[in-house]
Amino acid sequence: MWVDLHVHTSFSDGTLTPREVVREARAKGLSALAITDHDTLDGLEEAKRAGELFGIMVIPGVEISVDLGEGRSSHLLGYGLDGKWSSFGDFLGKMRLSRVERNRAILEKLRSLGLALDPKEITDEADEARIGRPHIAQAMVRKGYVRSVDEAFARYLTRGAKAYIPRRRPSCTEAMEAIREAGGVPVLAHPHTVGIEGLAELEMCIGKLVREGLMGVEVLYPDAPFAIRRFLSDLCERWGLLKTGGSDFHGGLKPEVHLGFGRGDLRVPLEWARLLKEAMEKAKEFKS
């Protein structure tokens, strides 16, 4: 029995609603699913209800862009959070505000490059905070400014490109504290994207985060090289960290990545979801 612990919905830059994602999980024969939208917990309620309806274990989660220092950035997953902790709500509110400001700055920059986009051409979604660079990239394709989403990123939106605007990010330390303070479990997402060359350096980087409260590592991820998957799995066993894994499903935005199975070779065991749930329950007890 397989699970998927990294999934986006239309509450951020995924194209399926939480209910549709849960239904897809059921169709794929998955037994558990964690919803990890960027900067928001708003899709969780609908996902939970759909989970009950379709008989799928739904784990609440969130994904946050963080600063690792030394010019490095990464994504942090937080599991087991609910809307109950207003301090965490405030923390996410700041994240969404910085996203809205960044989106506006990108549109301004594109306009100055002769690539004007009306906000209404990007989405009919009222909530600007749901918009990410993928939405802007798709709108650029529709306008005929570029041929593909990849081209939009490569020429304009990726870090260092012509219309790239950095976003204010919390430090990873700060984000881990906010998650733990709210009774959640912080996990480092897709560590191979941190921008580290050697495994020894990656181990040092993760070691520092563990001393600051990191509880797990995303070991399985569609694009992670196999040597890294093996290395991370060993590291988790040596250090007693939680292992997680997921497809980073975005629906039609990344059509080649399938829910649960990624590019076809992803298999995340149900046991990992069970252990994660156990850790979530302990983290919650500890706070209450």
Binding site for ligand AMP (CB under 6 A): 13, 38, 132-134, 149-150, 153, 158
Q: Is there binding between residue 75 and Fe ion (CB under 5 A)?
A: yes
279-286 CB contacts, 8 Å cutoff, 24+ apart: 279/79, 279/80, 279/185, 279/215, 279/216, 279/242, 280/59, 280/79, 280/80, 280/184, 280/185, 281/80, 283/80, 283/180, 283/183, 283/184, 283/185, 283/215, 284/80, 284/183, 286/183
CB 122 within 8 A of CB 111: no
Binders of Fe ion among 173-192, rule CB under 5 A? 189
Closer by beta carbon to ligand AMP, 149 or else 241: 149
Residue 170 — φ and ψ, nearest 5°? -75, 160
Closer by beta carbon to Zn ion, 13 or else 42: 13
Closer by beta carbon to Fe ion, 110 or else 186: 186
Are β-strands 242-245 and 216-220 bridged in parallel, bridged antiparallel, or unpaired? parallel
User: What is the rounded CA–CA span in Å between residue 283 and residue 288?
Assistant: 9
Q: Which of Fe ion, ligand AMP, Zn ion, none sits in contact with 75, Cβ below 5 to 8 A by type?
A: Fe ion
Q: Is there binding between residue 248 and Fe ion (CB under 5 A)?
A: yes
Stretch that binds Fe ion, among 16-24, 88-96, 209-217, 248-256 (CB under 5 A): 248-256
Name the minimum Å distance from CB 53 to ligand AMP: 27
Which residue in the set 13, 24, 46, 218 belongs to the binding site for Zn ion (CB under 5 A)?
Answer: 13
User: What is the rounded CA–CA span in Å between residue 230 and residue 74?
Assistant: 20
Name the minimum Å distance from CB 194 to ligand AMP: 14
Q: Which of Zn ion, ligand AMP, Fe ion, none sits in contact with 149, Cβ below 5 to 8 A by type?
A: ligand AMP
Binders of Fe ion among 54-73, rule CB under 5 A? 63
Name the minimum Å distance from CB 218 to ligand AMP: 14
Name the minimum Å distance from CB 25 to Fe ion: 16
Q: Which residues pair with 245 in a beta bridge?
A: 220
DSSP 8-state code for residue 223: T
Closer by beta carbon to ligand AMP, 75 or else 180: 75
Q: Which residues contact 49 (CB under 8 A, 6 or more apart)?
A: 19
Closer by beta carbon to Fe ion, 37 or else 46: 37
Q: Which of ligand AMP, Fe ion, Zn ion, none sits in contact with 158, Cβ below 5 to 8 A by type?
A: ligand AMP
Stretch that binds Zn ion, among 11-19, 65-73, 187-195, 259-267 (CB under 5 A): 11-19
CB 88 within 8 A of CB 178: yes
Radius of gyration for the alpha carbons in the chain, expressed in angstroms and rounded: 18
Classify 272 as helix, strand or coil. Answer: helix
